[in-house]
Amino acid sequence: MRSAWVWIAGMGALLMAPAAMARVCAVSIDSTDQMTFSSREIKLAADCSEVNLTLRHTGKLAATAMGHNWVLTRTADYQAVAMVGMRGTLADSYVPKADPRVLAHTKVIGGGQSTTLRFPTTLLRKGGDYTFFCSFPGHFAMMKGKLTFG
């Protein structure tokens, strides 16, 4: 009987291994009617394989007046992407379409809403320099922060 239990425990460990390697890291960030994010820095641990990001808008203003999204680019690309994005539309979340500089982004939300985004960290290089920002017209200068991986 004893050896049977050991075998079952061993099988369990083998089955668990792939799940343990795929680590989903949860990140949540709030945005406000005062055109701010609640964090200026997001640190992802080196063993995160995926990011599950939740953006909340804790204000009351509509998406058309004070909409917010969360866009991730390399820091070198962020201003250029923000400039193109602000010439876009709310339907496009003020994000340039099919632009490889946009690593990940949420849709634009208004007060009281939230949205979730999941992306793999294979998009990111360890030690790379990344900036997250809101691409709603006029927001990127105030609503931005640094993202680090590893």
Binding site for Zn ion (CB under 5 A): 68, 134, 136, 139, 143
- Distance between CA 142 and CA 33 in Å, rounded? 12
- Please identify, using beta-carbon distances, which residue of 48 and 63 lies nearer to Zn ion: 63
- Please identify, using beta-carbon distances, which residue of 110 and 121 lies nearer to Zn ion: 110
- Please identify, using beta-carbon distances, which residue of 42 and 134 lies nearer to Zn ion: 134
CB of residue 115 to Zn ion, shortest distance in Å: 13
- Distance between CA 25 and CA 105 in Å, rounded? 16
CB-nearest residue to Zn ion = 134
CB of residue 119 to Zn ion, shortest distance in Å: 20
- Distance between CA 31 and CA 59 in Å, rounded? 7
- Please identify, using beta-carbon distances, which residue of 48 and 66 lies nearer to Zn ion: 66
Helix ranges restricted to H, the chain? 2-21, 63-66, 78-85
CB of residue 68 to Zn ion, shortest distance in Å: 4
Q: Which amino acid is located at 78 in the chain?
A: Y
CB of residue 93 to Zn ion, shortest distance in Å: 11
